Amino acid sequence: MAQEVSEYLSQNPRVAAWVETLRSDGETDKHWRHRREFLLRNAGDLAPAGGAASAHPEEAADAESGTRSRQLQQLVSFSMAWANHVFLGCRYPQKVMDKILSMAEGIKVTDAPIHTTRDELVAKKG
């Protein structure tokens, strides 16, 4: 899948430039590669179109811009939560876990660390 993402980004330079703006400063290349795939799979209309910018009346564009901004913030938050879960072992409320895991369906992370939760450790001692 990494090859497909790279190929897609090479064919869509506006999308490639846009998604790069979403990378965190301290994010490793490995984390970014997978989180970028998560973002691209779920961006839908949030990513710029491959061609010229679409023409909207200004009022509609302003309202749409606010909605798009909130949707983008939510997408970035979900992508960070997913990456934190996969690479750091973080857990979130079940509703959030269900959402991020469904959004990440099909993303193959073969080099993620394996974490043991406190509940799993306690269960082993019992």
Q: What is the dihedral of CA 106, 112, 118, 119, to 10 degrees?
A: 30
Burial state string for 10-41 with b = 16 or more CB within 10 A and e = fewer than 16: eebeebbebbeebeeeebeeebbebbbbbbbb
Q: What pLDDT, on the 0 to 100 scale, is given for residue 57?
A: 47
Domain limits, the chain = 2-49+57-125
- Could you tell me if 65 and 17 are in contact, meaning their C-beta atoms sit under 8 angstroms apart? no
Query: Tens digits of per-residue pLDDT, 2-53?
Result: 678 888 888 888 988 999 999 999 999 999 999 999 999 999 888 877 543 4
Report the helix count and the strand count for the chain, using DSSP H and E.
6, 0
CA distance 70 to 65: 9
Q: Name the pTM for this structure.
A: 0.74
